[in-house]
Structure 1
Amino acid sequence: MEKRAVILSSGGLDSTTVLAMARAEGYACYTLSFDYGQRHRAELNAAVRVAAALGDVEHKVVSLNLDSIGGSALTDAAIAVPEEASEGIPVTYVPARNTVFLAIALGWAEVLNARDIFIGVNAVDYSGYPDCRPAFIEAFERVANLATRVGVEEGGIRIRAPLMELGKDAIIRRGMELGVDYGLTVSCYQATDEGLACGRCDACRLRREGFAAAGVADPTRYRKG
């Protein structure tokens, strides 16, 4: 029987690495992205490029309107994207985003008879988001197996977060081993429509430092000035 997995794909560095890792494990990969009202919409184009380059079975984009509730610099144009590191949970945190994304991925996984959902969350080089912690992933997996037919009758489903304990440099090195072209990806919180990165936000900082620490040339296309 074909081994299927749903991969949450943002078009960024981490989720692209996770997709490559799932493919290397022999999964037939179904990639899932979200048009959730984010200001950095270039990531959706990047997710399409990545899916095609790494050979997924199907790429699906689900539309949500998280911008209708706001509460984040990524969904509310009135909140500026910070360009310096901050203490605590930053304003780029999108309320309940990973909970919502995983819930929809869980539904698609049931339809596909996929027993694994992969997500690129990371507890080492991350921005302080509460829904990127091991405790959250473990808790959601318990909920998934309580609330679904596959959990109750068909052996269960796993939430896989293979980058959880890796630093950004280790993630990049693993991706390079798997042949990932990081030039296809977009990580910037305020990238232009063409995918040019600002070079100043937290996502850009972590990405740039990761490439430097990995000893790999940074393929990111930055805005001039």
Structure 2
Amino acid sequence: MTDKAVVLLSGGLDSSTVLYQGKADGYECYALSFNYQQRHQRELDAARDIAAAAGVTQQVISFDLGLWGGSALTDATINVPRDRAPEEMATEIPVTYVPARNTIFLSFGLAYAEALEAKRVYLGVNALDYSGYPDCRPDYINAMQQVFKLGTKQGREGRSIEIISPLIELKKTEIIQLGNQLNVPWEKTWSCYQGGEKACGVCDSCQLRLKAFQELGLTDPLPYL
């Protein structure tokens, strides 16, 4: 019987690569996506398309983090930063940080994984591109691994569900190179923090993505404004 894994899938470049990595690792993958009333709802369409392309089951969990805001991604009154240089992005925790988002996502992922008797939860966090995000760092992942061990029946029985974050110390260019090896369909992914039909090209996420493709001498297949 093939071992199971839950993959947290936003539809972005990183999480899509992680889904394909999970499949390449030989796991029967179950994608879990989140509608938390984010500004960029467009990413949910991408997550659906990526899950379909990968041939995996997808669940979408809905809840409203916009009820209390606190982030440019959940509060329309907070502007998404534009045209920032990469070195500026790393100076402080940005307003696009969503309070405790990865803790919430991983909690759902853990519950789903234990219900499936899965062995892994895959997560596409990256500590290099967004060094300011507190829930994308190795020490955070290590702490959550302890939660997975101590807060579940599987963990207490010595069968702890493992958090796998294969991209955490990769540069964006290295992630794209890995995705190319895994045949990730980039044209189906979505990274922009804005919710339009075309990517804005000027938010932090768009700029980092475009820069990485350019450094590799490749063309990003997404349409941009």
TM-score, length of structure 1 as denominator length: 0.95
Query: Who is 1:13 aligned against?
Result: 13
Q: CA deviation at 1:98?
A: 0.2
| Superposed CA offset, 1:145-194 (max 9, x none) | 100001011511100000011100000011011111101000001131x3
In the alignment, the residues of structure 2 paired with residue 164 and residue 6 of structure 1 have an alpha-carbon distance, to the nearest angstrom, of 17
Alignment partner of 1:112 is 2:116? yes
| Larger CA deviation: 213-222 vs 8-17 | 213-222
* Contact kept? 2:2, 2:26, Cα under 8 Å: no
* Contact kept? 1:170, 1:214, Cα under 8 Å: no
Q: Show structure 2 runs of 5+ residues with no match.
A: none
Q: CA deviation at 1:18?
A: 0.4
1:1-225 superposed matches below 5 A:
1-56=1-56, 58-83=57-82, 84=84, 85-86=88-89, 87-126=91-130, 128-192=132-196, 194=197, 196-223=198-225
In the alignment, the residues of structure 2 paired with residue 171 and residue 72 of structure 1 have an alpha-carbon distance, to the nearest angstrom, of 26
| Superposed CA offset, 1:13-32 (max 9, x none) | 00000001110111101000
| Superposed CA offset, 1:186-223 (max 9, x none) | 0001131x3x1100000001100111122221112112
Task: Letter of the 2:98 partner, please give it.
Answer: V
Count, aligned residues: 220
Q: Secondary structure at the match of 2:59?
A: strand
In the alignment, the residues of structure 2 paired with residue 215 and residue 31 of structure 1 have an alpha-carbon distance, to the nearest angstrom, of 31
Q: Secondary structure at the match of 1:6?
A: strand
Runs of 4+ in 1 over 4 A off after TM superposition: none
Provide the identity percentage.
53
| Superposed CA offset, 1:38-85 (max 9, x none) | 0100000000000000111x1000011111010000000000001124
* CA-based RMSD: 1.0
Could you say if the C-alpha distance between residues 210 and 14 of structure 1 is closer, same or farther in structure 2, counting changes exceeding 3 Å?
same
In the alignment, the residues of structure 1 paired with residue 16 and residue 195 of structure 2 have an alpha-carbon distance, to the nearest angstrom, of 17
In the alignment, the residues of structure 1 paired with residue 19 and residue 211 of structure 2 have an alpha-carbon distance, to the nearest angstrom, of 22
Q: Secondary structure at the match of 1:7?
A: strand
* Contact kept? 2:11, 2:190, Cα under 8 Å: yes
* Contact kept? 1:198, 1:222, Cα under 8 Å: yes
Q: Show structure 1 runs of 5+ residues with no match.
A: none
* Contact kept? 1:127, 1:202, Cα under 8 Å: no
Q: CA deviation at 1:127?
A: 5.4
* Contact kept? 2:15, 2:124, Cα under 8 Å: yes
